[in-house]
A = this chain, B = another copy of it.
Amino acid sequence: MTATTTPTERAQPATSAPAPLTMAGALNAALRDAMEADDRVVVYGEDVGPLGGVFRVTDGLQARFGDQRIWDSPLAESGIVGTAVGMAMYGMRPVVEMQFDAFSYPAFEQMVSHVAKMRNRTKGRVSLPIVVRIPCAGAIGGVEHHSDSSEAYWTATPGLTVVMPSNPADAYSMLREAIECDDPVVFMEPKSRYWSKAELTLPVTTAPMDRAVVVREGTDVTLLAYGPTVRTALEAADAAASEDLSIEVVDLRSLSPFDDETVGASVRKTSRAAVIHEAAQFGGYGAEVAARVTERNFFHLAAPVLRITGFDIPYPSPKLEEQYLPTADRVLAALDTWEWEDRA
């Protein structure tokens, strides 16, 4: 097993005709194809079996592969992740599901003290090809604990790879790549995008999962977004276009590692950048983005990198989440706070 299986090397199932697929459906197909391609891939977690997961991402997989490839575990997240460590040591490639961000917290010690550290601890002798799937973020009207954004915890942890697709094609391609990766991957799935659709011909291979992608070109401002906020950024770019402001949107895709190259190129072109996320601002992932973009491109920047984020408060109850979440309007208003004299 090489360290960097590239997407094209992977066993390809028969190509299917283009069909509209939701992100949940794309993830389901990726799991199915990965299980088909490699019998070391096993899937477990809470309610992933007959129910197909509370978001139906594992729908139908138990019927197809049987309960020795995919099964319901007891209800204990540390147990789920901790046993995955042992399974991976044996040579399996476990894909486990945390039901929501906040319910991954009981597994925090296993994630930080073992999943992240095992390979380094053993000088590379033991690698843990585990994928921890986390339905993440909010905007689904969920009650408390169902809309947290946990990415800052994982990205602050050396040894973890953290990715988040924003669309069905990436969801498929990145999940296949994550499962093939010899490093443990925290695979974050923006819940509010589960039902977003795209026409896809499977298997689809998009950019490597550690690369950011420019999803809309522009010249005046770079918006850095990931997961649920890519749509927000695109909406802002649309609205701004009518006001003659040309916004480039970069979908980060990979939170750790960070694609300094793609992002740097964009920022040096536009000389202005803002990062958008749902999580609270203080200590959020946007801090890393702002800090490193500034470090590496300081003399190209016409203005400070902005962070357009949730407030520094716990995620609110459903009726107030609209006020909490960064919207396209809020993005545009934030861009207005820059001094724009330098613009012709």
A303 within 8 A of B: yes
Residues of chain B contacted by A301 (CB below 8 angstroms): 298
The residue on B at minimum CB distance from A304 is B298
Residues of chain B contacted by A108 (CB below 8 angstroms): 105-106, 108-109
Residue interface bits A289-313, CB-to-B below 8 A is 1, else 0: 0111011001001011111000011
Residues of chain B contacted by A116 (CB below 8 angstroms): 314
Contact check, B295 vs A158: say whether CB atoms are below 8 A apart: no
A157 to B312, CA, bound (A): 8
The residue on B at minimum CB distance from A297 is B304
Contact check, A314 vs B121: say whether CB atoms are below 8 A apart: yes
A55 to B286, CA, bound (A): 36
Contact check, A256 vs B282: say whether CB atoms are below 8 A apart: yes
Among candidates B112, B256, B282, residue contacting A156 with C-beta atoms closer than 8 Å: B282
Residues of chain B contacted by A307 (CB below 8 angstroms): 291, 295
Contact check, A314 vs B120: say whether CB atoms are below 8 A apart: yes
Query: Min CB distance, A299 to chain B, in Å?
Result: 8
Among candidates B279, B298, B314, residue contacting A159 with C-beta atoms closer than 8 Å: B314
A284 to B256, CA, bound (A): 13
Contact check, A283 vs B294: say whether CB atoms are below 8 A apart: no
Contact check, B152 vs A283: say whether CB atoms are below 8 A apart: yes
Residues of chain B contacted by A152 (CB below 8 angstroms): 152, 156, 283
Residues of chain B contacted by A287 (CB below 8 angstroms): 283, 287-288, 290-292
Residues of chain B contacted by A256 (CB below 8 angstroms): 282-283
* Given A105-B113, A295-B290, A283-B156 contact (CB < 8 Å): yes
The residue on B at minimum CB distance from A313 is B158
A301 to B301, CA, bound (A): 12
A195 within 8 A of B: no
- 10 closest A-B pairs (Cβ-Cβ)? A156-B283, A108-B108, A105-B109, A298-B304, A290-B291, A287-B287, A155-B283, A152-B156, A287-B288, A287-B291
Could you jot down 19 A-B contacts, CB within 8 Å?
A105-B109, A105-B113, A117-B144, A152-B152, A152-B156, A153-B156, A156-B279, A158-B282, A159-B313, A256-B282, A256-B283, A282-B288, A283-B287, A286-B291, A287-B288, A290-B294, A290-B295, A291-B291, A298-B303
